Structure 1
Amino acid sequence: MTSIKVKYHPSATTGRKCREVKKYIKPASEQSLSNFMQGVICHLKQLGKIRTSETYTSTLASFMKFRAGQDIILCDIDGNMMMQYEAWLKGKGICPNTTSFYMRILRAVYNRAVENELTEQRYPFKHVYTGIDKTVKRAMPLKAIRQIKGLDLANNHKLDYARDMFLFSFYTRGMSFVDMAYLRKSDLKNGIITYRRRKTGQLLTVKWEKCMEDIIAKYHGNHATRYLLPIITNPMADERTQYHNAISRVNIALKEVARLAGLHIPLTMHVARHCWASVARSKNIPISIISEGMGHDSEATTRIYLASLDTSAIYRANSLILKDL
């Protein structure tokens, strides 16, 4: 048996949450995908990249299901197998973008294994799709937001709560549900919400508006936690589990909200983010302002022309949208 210290593992001090820091493995040619990928997942968790670790876990679960639970040696991964996996996903009705997402994650793991000299580079992903297709538009016009806002849901707490969370996201320039869940009461100071996006780490500020206050006031006293919204409400339970359960319940309820509002769209929390961008664009708000307002870090083209943006312009953009509701 050869003892190999895999490069991505942390020190013994920081790696106590993992089962092991060193991987004692057979020769590199016998290292398995599952064992190696579990190590990567463990490392991601230690870095605090919980969401990323979850996507890696889902990808591994999907690939192992394709393999009927049989692990595979890294050196045995080739182009034919990846094409078979792609065909299997297609046969399961998985959309091209999700298939591509799985492939990109597996490719990243494979490339890391190559860097660690656990296998030779055979380019097994050369003939599978790893791009991003244009998806069906998820945005809705402002009229649809008004319809959702105008629903009388007083007798259905679940639907009322889901509608409120959707509207709060829209009011706050498409704040993602995970950022809403971890938004602390202390993040609201002097009429400004200041928070850091969990996805990108970017620091954002949002001007506090009356419509946001109305939602917070509605649920005041329902939870005694450090968080502003009633999403993570039990200080004794796992926060990540509470977040996952909440987003699942809300997205299910939003389907019914959409039906009651007469909307023919699979309504989810993420639609609120698309809506704000779409409505902002319809108001002729510059793309650069929209990009900055939503905390995008991929609008490289627009940011070439602007070194920074005046936050008051972003505040005015959001106020302009909210006045029409």
Structure 2
Amino acid sequence: MTTFKATVKKPRSDGFYTVYIRVTHQRKTSYIKTNKIIDPAHITSNGELTDPVVNEYCAIIIRQYTDKLNRVDATFWELKDVIEFLHKNDEETCFSDYARKFISKMESEGHERNAKNYKLAVNHLERYIGTTKIMFSILTTSVLTQWIDTLYKTSRAKEMYPTCIRQIFKKAIIELNDEERGILRIKYNPWLKIIIPKSDNTLKRAISAEAFREFFNRPLPQSKMVSPLPELGRDIALLSLCMGGINTIDLYELKKKDYKNGIIGYKRAKTRYSRRDEAYMEIRIEPFIQDTFNKYLSTDQTDEYLFNFHSRYSNSDSFNANINMGIRRICQDMGMSKEEYYCFYTFRHTWATIAQNDCGANMYEVAFGMNHSHGFNITRGYVKIDFTPAWELNAKIIDFIFFSNKNSKQSLVRNFELPSEKMFRITKKMMIYGRAYFKGEVIAEVTDIGFDTVDDVISALANQLPNDIPVGCNVQFRLTNCDSQKEAVYVRSKGKGF
């Protein structure tokens, strides 16, 4: 049984006493401070209060406390539970403060990308209501419905923002309410009557292989910058396309320890926390992109990151924005309308489309190559995965785009049985078969002996190239050692490499 009594403790510096409600529960005592004070003349020698105003106020408070406790079974409660129930039950709870703590916890647990979406949702709701101190009581069904109506013209936010707010609300109800003890700081759940609209269907950004060849084999726009954005955009688009459509954040976050023996092993940032296998993926670096890959490797021995992007861009969002600006500038230089401009995701989507439409891959193989869970996220947590089918599919896609034209296909970029660490060596006695490709077509060939180096073969091929290839355009050179049947691929730009 819990008992209450109005009492005082020590006198204040001005001689008055602060009035408390003494709470006794299971032979333990605590005090709840009131906003009343009393002078020594209204305190008897045994501590009783004689001020009628103070006694009436305290009697009302005690009746309220008694009424609350009578509505619950507090028999097995601790004293602190009783105090919390009495003291905080009627306090209005701030949604904004709780949301910020919720988001901060997400960030500390490594869910930075999801936390950004939640922060955007909360910020938008606060702007709509007009305060950064939204109380839970304000978020009624009517208010939230009107807010959602303002999002209908968006393609994705109309589903994402309300979903984020609902998740925060759901978590708050679990943490702040205790129905067993009658503690209901959030009196109702408005989301039970709200239907969240679906986001628009994802725009199919994929383009044809012919359009890809045009994009990658044209001169870059003129620039006075040492590292111009179009060059960055083209290079990272090429890396993504030739690395299974890897995302920019995953490229940005790769560490040196993730790259061993020509293989990249990484956990996809978007889904690493939602999959049993942590979205782990391995991708082989094909010789075709090795030069571009090496171009951005970090040379700082103290830097843990694989690429030098961290020294140039403050975060992955800035990195991604600069890539897209570079891609758009190339599209502008190509005379495309703004509605037709490519973005980084164009290359990821096209990887999947060409894999399915032109390289004979089924949907399972496409999903596997792009590091989607493809319905087997639990199974992937048990099985040690062999990623070579994804590597072979990736090689086929590179081969189709860069080493074929519309009507023909050539051999794979690299025979899978060929160890990646074996270097492509040339001596004068070896028969070398070389081909030069521009926009997927063979424009020069040479078969001969007597070459000392790879550059000698490339020079022989370059002498056969048409003069109308613009300066700055990339040409792909494929060299085959006819004696060992080993093959290597090189990319050179007119005006720089030949």
Alignment-mate amino acid for residue 285 of structure 2: W
Pair 223,98 (structure 1): closer, same or farther in 2 beyond 3 Å: farther
Q: Give the 3-state SS of the residue equivalent to 1:233 in structure 2.
A: helix
- 1:163-312 to 2 correspondence within 5 Å? 163-201=234-272, 202-219=279-296, 225-233=303-311, 241-263=314-336, 265-282=340-357, 283-297=359-373, 299-300=374-375, 310-312=386-388
- Tell me the distance in 1 between the aligned counterparts of 2:306 and 2:210: 28
Matched residue, 1:46: 108
- Tell me the distance in 2 between the aligned counterparts of 1:321 and 1:296: 18
CA deviation map 1:44-101 (0-9, x unaligned) = 11111111111111111111111122532213312211121122234xx433x22110
Matched residue, 1:10: none
Matched residue, 1:147: 214
1:222 is displaced (CA, Å) by 7.0
TM-score by length of 1: 0.80
- Range with greater deviation from structure 2 (262-271 or 252-261): 262-271
Pair 309,223 (structure 1): closer, same or farther in 2 beyond 3 Å: closer
- 1:54-69 to 2 correspondence within 5 Å? 54-69=116-131
Q: Indicate the percent of aligned positions where both proteins have the same amino acid.
A: 20
- Range with greater deviation from structure 2 (315-324 or 122-131): 122-131
- Tell me the distance in 2 between the aligned counterparts of 1:71 and 1:51: 24
1:310 is displaced (CA, Å) by 4.0
- Range with greater deviation from structure 2 (214-223 or 76-85): 214-223
Does the CA contact (< 8 Å) of 2:331 and 2:341 recur in 1? Answer: yes
**Among candidates 131, 135, 141, match of residue 202 of structure 2:** 135
| Matching of residue 102 in structure 1 with residue 161 in structure 2 | yes
Q: Give the 3-state SS of the residue equivalent to 2:304 in structure 1.
A: coil
Q: Greater share of helix residues, 1 or 2?
A: 1
Alignment-mate amino acid for residue 292 of structure 1: F
TM-score by length of 2: 0.54
| Matching of residue 71 in structure 1 with residue 133 in structure 2 | yes
1:134 is displaced (CA, Å) by 1.1
- Tell me the distance in 1 between the aligned counterparts of 2:283 and 2:291: 16
Alignment-mate amino acid for residue 321 of structure 1: I
Alignment-mate amino acid for residue 219 of structure 2: D
Unaligned runs of 5+ in 2: 1-31, 34-86, 178-184, 273-278, 403-498
- Tell me the distance in 1 between the aligned counterparts of 2:207 and 2:378: 26
- Tell me the distance in 1 between the aligned counterparts of 2:340 and 2:378: 32
- Tell me the distance in 1 between the aligned counterparts of 2:259 and 2:347: 21
- Tell me the distance in 1 between the aligned counterparts of 2:90 and 2:232: 53
Unaligned runs of 5+ in 1: 3-24
Does the CA contact (< 8 Å) of 2:221 and 2:330 recur in 1? Answer: no
1:214 is displaced (CA, Å) by 1.8
Does the CA contact (< 8 Å) of 1:178 and 1:243 recur in 2? Answer: yes
Q: Give the 3-state SS of the residue equivalent to 2:266 in structure 1.
A: strand
Q: Give the 3-state SS of the residue equivalent to 2:309 in structure 1.
A: coil
1:104 is displaced (CA, Å) by 0.6
Does the CA contact (< 8 Å) of 2:309 and 2:319 recur in 1? Answer: yes
Alignment-mate amino acid for residue 110 of structure 1: F
1:280 is displaced (CA, Å) by 1.0
Does the CA contact (< 8 Å) of 2:229 and 2:325 recur in 1? Answer: no
Does the CA contact (< 8 Å) of 2:281 and 2:387 recur in 1? Answer: no
- Tell me the distance in 1 between the aligned counterparts of 2:265 and 2:290: 15
Alignment-mate amino acid for residue 154 of structure 2: I
Structure with the bigger RCO (C-alpha within 8 Å, sep 6+) is 1
Count of residue pairs brought into register by the alignment: 294
